Amino acid sequence: MNLVLLQPEDFISGSGRARLRGRRLKHIREIHRAVPGDRLAVGLTDGLIGRGEIMAADDSSLELDVELEHEPPPPLPLRLVLALPRPKMLKRVLISAVSMGVKRIDLVNSFRVEKSFWGSPLLTAEKLREPVILGLEQARDTILPQIRLHKLFKPFVEDELPELIAGTTPLVAHPGRNAPLPDAVTDPATLAIGPEGGFIPYEIDQLQQCGFRVVSFGPRILRVETAVPALLSRFMKV
């Protein structure tokens, strides 16, 4: 937790003082080992970042005097369309993507996504919020990303994808003898990444008909948790 992410309801009404309990209290006391007088990086969800000085702390709550001054880091100008990863990978992939600044993630079905993945208890809005918060706290960001689930590939591509890719360069990373992914992409983009084993030819056809360009990321087949940060890196301005 490189930043304590605050909600409006954490603030004592009408003041610049926030009161924390639960996970954040525990983390600040046990991991940061912070005590009254210490100052921590804080941010308001969907708002500014700044510093919070610990004014009081005991086993049940902690109070911070908060000053919010700066914009969070710029978002990654990339929309991610990702074949639903297996549940044990999903959380890590979401933390990675959110920490790198992705603000729109569409998790889609594909022929090679196992049906059982869609039954994972991790796919509720509440459970999906956990890796999102961890990713924002990691990167000192405050802007919540949108995550959408699409259990049917064809209706998503035909009915929703055209609007999603509007104003962006749509690319699909796919193994094979395609044009290489550019070293650095500076315009807003939409990047589609298939499941382990890749999208099937029918799905690639559908994406191409929607306007996607098929690009290669070299001969090595990477696990999704490696491929996602490696691919997103090409869209980062540093």
Q: Does 180 bind a second copy (CB under 8 A)?
A: yes
DSSP string, the chain: --SEEEPGGGBPTTSSEEEE-HHHHHHHHHTS---TT-EEEEEETTS-EEEEEEEEE-SS-EEEEEEEEEPPPPPPSEEEEEEPPPHHHHHHHHHHHHHTT--EEEEE--TTS-GGGGG-GGGSHHHHHHHHHHHHHHHT---PPEEEEES-HHHIIIIIHHHHHTTSEEEEE-SSS-EEPPS---S-EEEEE--TT---HHHHHHHHHTTPEEEE--S----HHHHHHHHHHTT---
Q: Which one of the spans 78-86, 121-129, 135-143, 198-206 is the region binding a second copy (CB under 8 A)?
A: 135-143
Q: Which one of the spans 109-117, 144-152, 206-214, 227-235 is the region binding a second copy (CB under 8 A)?
A: 227-235
Q: Does 183 bind a second copy (CB under 8 A)?
A: yes
The DSSP bridge partners found for residue 191 are 80, 171
Min dist. Cβ of residue 52 to a second copy (A): 18
Q: Does 99 bind a second copy (CB under 8 A)?
A: yes
Among 45, 120, 138, 168, binds a second copy (CB under 8 A): 138
Among 100, 128, 161, 191, binds a second copy (CB under 8 A): 100
Q: Which is nearer to a second copy, 96 or 206 (CB)?
A: 96
Q: Which is nearer to a second copy, 37 or 219 (CB)?
A: 219
Token pair recorded at residue 83? 């074949």
Tell me the per-residue interface mask from 188 to 217 with a second copy, x by CB under 8 A, - otherwise: ----------------------------xx
Q: Which residues contact 21 (CB under 8 A, 6 or more apart)?
A: 60, 61, 62
Among 131, 141, 157, 198, binds a second copy (CB under 8 A): 141
Among 8, 16, 36, 73, binds a second copy (CB under 8 A): 73
Q: Does 115 bind a second copy (CB under 8 A)?
A: no
Min dist. Cβ of residue 159 to a second copy (A): 32
Applying CB under 8 A, the residues found at the interface with a second copy are: 2, 73, 92, 95-96, 99-101, 138-141, 180-181, 183-184, 216-223, 225-227, 229-234, 236-238
